[in-house]
């Protein structure tokens, strides 16, 4: 199946990642992959289209049953199908959860740098953001992140209602350990916070480590947690717009359902996405089993390449997903040339014709980083790296 991931797919015309860059720029920015989705998903979509009706569709019991079983078998986490609620994507869910758990004037705490819609969700609801910066260690060209638990707890105020957790963490690539999650959960319970755990990257762990849903730690944690998951990163389906929340507190679930059915705050999921998600979870495992070694090899190729050929650039070795985080602080690229206001990177965009994501949009601690998406063919990755190396070389920055 490796061949599947090595085969280039022309995505132009159907992809923000490719359509927003000129033809000579290699796009390694937005977080989707350049691969075809699993064949069973494509087949299920064809069958669903052939059925020919596309009316409103709010739910799929078979999908909820499949997900309940998946939580049990993968994580030993017991949920029932009624704990699952479908939403048209997790960015919507982040906004809705802030609304659900807080009120105007309350605050939401999160670790930064973080996936940028986390930063906007509280603001969209008249709430404030408390940014607790992750601890960063740089040694021998490698960057490693940990949690400053004392600073995290110290930043919580009486107005704080919610902790937005990203696990695995975009963009720093950490998959939080049981000990780290237990300590975070203990702090949140002590301060009576809700936890919203965005686990969209949970199926893309690149090493031996297992993903741990924070809600699976104990019934007490589960009662305060809204877990967000989706097939979109796992099976490369984000354009279909299906995510789900798992909520084991009946009151909270009722409130969330009310936001859709009574307040009409967001639309239901697109009907095609249910069929795609069901096929992905039921029949996509062989594809996923082939994807993970491919991504792992891309990561290892990237890390080795940067260490060897761009010695002034440091980077994370992501434990999960296909996003690497590159530190340009000692690269010699003048800071004015590192960023292009409101767009991609001036330096790598202009000089290498490679689009990476600017770090500062990820909040405090995001500058002077760039995020590089290695969910692409190995050939594309190597071409982009060679262009970046050559650009640094031309400017005597190696």
Binding residues vs ligand PLP (CB under 6 A): 31, 89-91, 115, 166, 170, 198, 200, 230, 232, 238, 243
Strand partners, 245: 85, 228
Residue whose CB is less far from ligand PLP, 27 or 89: 89
CB of 268 to ligand PLP, least distance (A): 14
Supply 358's token pair.
Answer: 């600017």
CB of 321 to ligand PLP, least distance (A): 8
The DSSP secondary structure of 287-304, one letter per residue, reads HHHHHHHHHHHHHHHHHH
CB of 238 to ligand PLP, least distance (A): 4
Q: Which of 171, 234, 116 is nearest to 370 (CA)?
A: 171
CB of 169 to ligand PLP, least distance (A): 8
Residue whose CB is less far from ligand PLP, 167 or 248: 167
Residue whose CB is less far from ligand PLP, 33 or 391: 33
Residue whose CB is less far from ligand PLP, 91 or 384: 91
Does residue 113 sit in helix, strand or coil?
coil
In contact, 282 and 258? CB cutoff 8 Å: no
CB of 50 to ligand PLP, least distance (A): 27
- CA–CA distances in Å: residue 32 to residues 36, 136, 334: 11, 26, 30
Q: Which residue is nearest to ligand PLP, using beta carbons? A: 89
Residue whose CB is less far from ligand PLP, 174 or 353: 174
Residue whose CB is less far from ligand PLP, 232 or 316: 232
Supply 355's token pair.
Answer: 């689009």
Distance CA 375, CA 296 (A): 10
Distance CA 316, CA 325 (A): 6
Distance CA 73, CA 307 (A): 38
CB of 219 to ligand PLP, least distance (A): 26
In contact, 63 and 281? CB cutoff 8 Å: yes
Supply 187's token pair.
Answer: 């702090």
């Amino acid at each position: 199946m490796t061949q599947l991931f090595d085969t280039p797919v022309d995505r132009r015309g159907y992809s923000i990642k490719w359509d927003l860059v000129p033809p000579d720029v290699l796009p390694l920015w937005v977080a989707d992959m350049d691969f075809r989705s699993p064949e069973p998903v494509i087949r299920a979509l064809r069958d669903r289209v052939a059925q020919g009706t596309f009316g409103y569709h709010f739910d799929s019991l078979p999908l909820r049953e499949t997900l309940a079983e998946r939580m049990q078998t993968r994580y030993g986490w017991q949920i029932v199908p009624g704990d699952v609620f479908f939403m048209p994507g997790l960015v919507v869910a982040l906004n809705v959860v802030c609304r659900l758990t807080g009120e105007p004037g309350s605050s939401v705490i999160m670790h930064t740098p973080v996936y940028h819609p986390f930063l906007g969700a509280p603001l969209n609801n008249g709430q404030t953001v408390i940014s607790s910066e992750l601890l960063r260690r740089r040694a021998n060209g490698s960057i490693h992140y940990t949690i400053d638990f004392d600073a995290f707890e110290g930043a919580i105020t009486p107005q704080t209602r919610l902790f937005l957790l990203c696990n695995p963490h975009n963009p720093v690539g950490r998959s939080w350990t049981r000990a780290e999650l237990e300590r975070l959960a203990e702090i949140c319970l002590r301060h009576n916070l809700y936890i919203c755990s965005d686990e969209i990257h949970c199926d893309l762990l690149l090493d031996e480590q297992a993903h741990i849903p924070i809600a699976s730690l104990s019934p007490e944690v589960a009662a305060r947690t809204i877990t967000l998951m989706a097939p979109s990163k796992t099976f490369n389906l984000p354009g279909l717009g299906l995510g789900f929340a798992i909520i084991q507190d009946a009151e909270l679930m009722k409130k969330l359902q009310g936001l859709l059915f009574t307040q009409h705050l967001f639309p239901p999921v697109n009907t095609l996405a249910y069929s795609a998600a069901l096929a992905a979870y039921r029949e996509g495992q062989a594809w996923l089993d082939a994807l993970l070694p491919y991504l792992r090899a891309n990561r290892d190729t990237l890390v080795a390449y940067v260490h060897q050929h761009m010695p002034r650039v440091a980077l994370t070795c992501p434990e999960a997903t296909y996003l690497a985080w590159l530190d340009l602080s000692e690269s010699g690229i003048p800071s004015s040339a590192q960023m292009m206001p409101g767009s991609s990177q001036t330096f790598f965009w202009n000089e290498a014709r490679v689009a990476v994501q600017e770090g500062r949009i990820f909040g405090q601690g995001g500058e002077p980083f760039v995020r590089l998406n290695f969910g692409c063919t190995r050939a594309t990755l190597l071409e982009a790296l060679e262009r970046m190396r050559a650009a640094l070389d031309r400017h005597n920055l190696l």
